[in-house]
A and B are shown apart, each in its own frame.
Chain A
Amino acid sequence: SQQGEEDPQALSIQEGENATMNCSYKTSINNLQWYRQNSGRGLVHLILIRSNEREKHSGRLRVTLDTSKKSSSLLITASRAADTASYFCATTLMGGYNKLIFGAGTRLAVHP
């Protein structure tokens, strides 16, 4: 079964607005990664946040992690049409072989 669940399933915004996507998971993790996927393409790595970290930034991206609530959020600021894609969170579990467990993703559409 899927470990992570993204919320919302779909998000539609205008260029320049901020987009926030949330991810919840069930069991203790080693780290959490966010990926982007354009339609029919491979996965592009965005950010990795470790279980002992609370926030990370990369350009227009901000990721937070709350291990007490077993949740993470991805914020994209000043969105662009090129940000249109599906976004997935993926967790690795403590003590495992570091396989990624993905949620079903959030489909983001940014309109010009």
Chain B
Amino acid sequence: DTGVSQNPRHKITKRGQNVTFRCDPISEHNRLYWYRQTLGQGPEFLTYFQNEAQLEKSRLLSDRFSAERPKGSFSTLEIQRTEQGDSAMYLCASSPEVGARDFFGQGTRLTVV
């Protein structure tokens, strides 16, 4: 069990630039989630994949956000035309089945300047 891996750990970008984050879940986990956490708050759900299918998206996921999970393995989260309000920690989690515990990665901290 190598755990959930997220890259990069930190990203500083200028407003208006595009950024992409990657999440590698635990290999046998078919369920993958993205969350966003702003300072002093709990994480908020962004989107859910079961294998390669994106089954749920939060209202928080504006048109500038897109997520993919090709072949049901790793996932990417892209933010286009970043805004200062996008500055947050982006967390990825995976789990093997309904009702099982979730395993979180260390997160990617995005700072938009």
Contacts and interface: CB of A to CB of B under 8 A. Distances in A.
Interface of A: 2, 4, 30-31, 33, 35, 40-45, 48, 50, 88, 90, 92, 97-105
Contact of B55 (A42, A50, A97): A97
B48 A42 contact: no
A42 B92 CA distance: 9
Given A98-B31, A99-B33, A100-B35, A42 B42 contact: no
A97 B54 CA distance: 11
Given A104-B41, A105-B42, A45 B55 contact: no
Contacts of B102: 33, 45, 100
Contacts, number: 63
A40 B44 CA distance: 16
Contacts of A50: 99
5 contacts: A41-B106, A45-B104, A88-B43, A104-B41, A104-B42
List of 8 A-B pairs having minimum Cβ-Cβ separation, nearest first: A102-B42, A42-B106, A43-B104, A99-B45, A48-B101, A97-B48, A42-B107, A42-B104
A2 B103 contact: no
Given A42-B105, A45-B101, A45-B104, A97 B50 contact: yes
